[in-house]
Each structure stands twice: as C-alpha cells, then as structure tokens.
Amino acid sequence: MKTAITELFGIQHPIIQGGMHYVGFAEMAAAVSNAGGLGIITGLTQRTPELLAKEIARCRDMTDKPIGVNLTFLPSFTAPPYPEYIAAIREGGVKAVETAGRSPEQYMPALKAAGIKVIHKCTSVRHSLKAEKIGCDAVSVDGFECGGHPGEDDIPNMILLPRAADELTIPFVASGGMADARSLVAALSMGAAGMNMGTRFIATKEAPVHANVKQALLDADELDTRLVMRALRNTERVLKNKGVDELLEIEREKGARLKIEDIHEQVAGVYPRVMIEGEMNAGAWSCGMVVGLIHDIPTVKELIDRIMAEAEAIIRQRLTGFLDGKFEITAARAVA
C-alpha cells in the first residue's frame, strides 16, 4: 500500500508508532521500523540530549530502516534544552520528528535546515492548519478517544478526520482509537493517509515495559479509561487504577480551585514506577479507549502484517463485494 505518508517517510506501511513516555525506547522504535512502519523514540524520556544521542545510536544498531524521534513541547517553567535535543536528532541522522504539545514553530527552521520531516500531533482542525502554515510536512490528527492528551475540544475522530480532510492540504494520519485493519481502512476512508497507534503498540512482545502493563491492557475494556486534569486544562486520558481514583477524588473536592501541586503524588514520577516496576496502581499513565480492542500480545511484525493483510481483505473483498452486490451477514470481526 502506498500513500502520501509511506512516500513522505520512506516506509513500507502507513503505520506510525506515536511517541510514548517510558515506552518509546530503542527496542520499541526498532521493532516498528523493522516491521515496515515508522518507529519513534520518545525524546524526553531520555533525561539529557546526550542520552538521546545514545538511544538513537542503540536504535540504529537494531534497524537500518527509517526511525523518528518525538519531541513534546511541554508547558513547563524550566524548559528542556530543545535545541540540544534537536542537535542530537540531527547528528544521529534521524529524518523524521513527531512534535506534540505546543507549536513547534520556533524550532522549525532548525528542523528543516537538517532535512527533517516534521509531523505535528494536533487535536483540532485549527491547530492542524497552524501546523500546515508553519511548514510541517504532515499532521497526526489525534481524536478525543486517544490515550494521552486529547486537548479540550472533545471531538472524536469520526468528525475530526473528515473535518481535517476538508481543510488540510498536507497529508495526515489518524491517531487515537486505532487498533487494527478496520481502523486503518476507516481512517483512509475519512481522508487520512495512514494511522498512528500508541496504546496498541504497548501490547506487543517487544514493547519494553513490565509484563503487568501488558496484562492490564488485556484485562481492561473501553470503559476503563478516565479523563484527569480537566480543571487544569491539561486533560489526559489514563487507565483507571487506585492512584487515579484518589486523583479524581481530590479533583472532585477541589473543583475549579485545583492546582497541580494538589495531585503531585498521583501524576509525578508515575511512568517509571508503572512501566519499569509494574506498579499498576501508582497513578496516572496514558491509555486510550482503544484498550477495549486489545485481546492479544503479538510481536510487532505479527500485528502490522495482520493489519495490512486484513486491510487488503476488507478493501478487496468486503467493500468491493458490496459494490458487486455480494451481501454479507457477518460484521467485519477482528481475527484475534
């Protein structure tokens, strides 16, 4: 399958693995890239630009396929040294960067001068148009279903994707709620040129996280995510657990007076405790509603090959079949 996204990034399949804090290590990115997608190392999980340079080098030892790095621009008092992170990316020969959070505008000249393709993750049409205007090569349109930060507009992908298609001239991928071939074909139908997955990639053999995390994804369903930090306008979709219940209780008590300090224990330093130690009740960690569609732990290659084979079957048989008047009683079920 060739789309604007496979051509832009020089990859075989139009599938991207979104940056994920404490998941997007070299092992994860290399597995996705080796399977023909675009694997992405999470820049800020590496505490310094030097460590990012080492992680890129480690990933390069595991794959000779294109890889990307995620740079998340956080609203923080002490900003990470982004120019140095960009230098590490450039010197590591990485040609794709997924930006997220605040606008990457001030870093675009440096990224473009290094010949890096930039895909910015956006939760609204207006942010997508801004990304296009400042020279991003593509957009990852992240619907309300997504794991992580869905923004504050609450528009699900069924609306957001066709809206983006109507307005954008640069290519975009669908992000949030994507799990299988049905997601991919639906995304392509709504105008996207591929899909970005986060949560689904955690439930793979290669994902370098504690086994408890993968089990929690198998055990959970689509009703098990919660939205936290709404009052701070920093909404995050996370997997329900005891720490999150406490957090929500504090949020209920404080209401609009909530301050980030009030929930420090439930949000700060949680990722290493969950992803490395497997402490599943530690607090807030991102997880999408798509968890309801996760029922197995395949290798990344098995997952991507299955998606591509089933997508072909849906397009060539199911959809073309409808046009040819072949009536099907069964729904398009997932194989796993």
Q: Which is nearer to ligand FMN, 106 or 320 (CB)?
A: 106
Q: Rule CB under 6 A: say whether 18 interacts with ligand FMN.
A: yes
Other C-beta atoms closer than 10 Å to the C-beta of 291 total 24
Token pair in block for residue 289? 């509603």
In angstroms, the Cα distances linking 156 to 62, 88, 190, 196, 289 are 36, 35, 13, 15, 11
Q: Which residue has the tokens 């009052």?
A: 231
Q: Which is nearer to ligand FMN, 39 or 288 (CB)?
A: 288
Buried b / exposed e across 140-179, counting CB within 10 Å, b at 16+?
bbbbbbbbbbbbeeebebeebbebbbeebebbbbbbbbbb
Q: Rule CB under 6 A: say whether 204 interacts with ligand FMN.
A: no
Sign (positive or negative) of CA dihedral 120, 193, 93, 114: negative
Q: Rule CB under 6 A: say whether 236 interacts with ligand FMN.
A: no
Q: Which is nearer to ligand FMN, 219 or 253 (CB)?
A: 219
The single-letter DSSP state of residue 328 is -
Q: Rule CB under 6 A: say whether 146 interacts with ligand FMN.
A: yes
First to last CA, the chain: 23
Binding segment for ligand FMN (CB under 6 A), chosen from 160-168, 172-180, 216-224, 257-265, is 172-180
Enumerate residues 184-203 that contact ligand FMN by CB under 6 A: 196-200
Q: Name the nearest CA neighbour of 32 among 15, 48, 50.
A: 15
Q: Which of 286, 293, 294, 304 binds ligand FMN (CB under 6 A)?
A: 286
Binding segment for ligand FMN (CB under 6 A), chosen from 30-38, 152-160, 256-264, 282-290, is 282-290
Q: Rule CB under 6 A: say whether 177 interacts with ligand FMN.
A: yes
- Quote the least distance from Cβ 13 to ligand FMN, whole Å: 16
Residues within the interface to ligand FMN (CB under 6 A)? 18-21, 23, 42, 70, 72, 100, 121, 142, 145-148, 175-178, 196-200, 285-288, 290
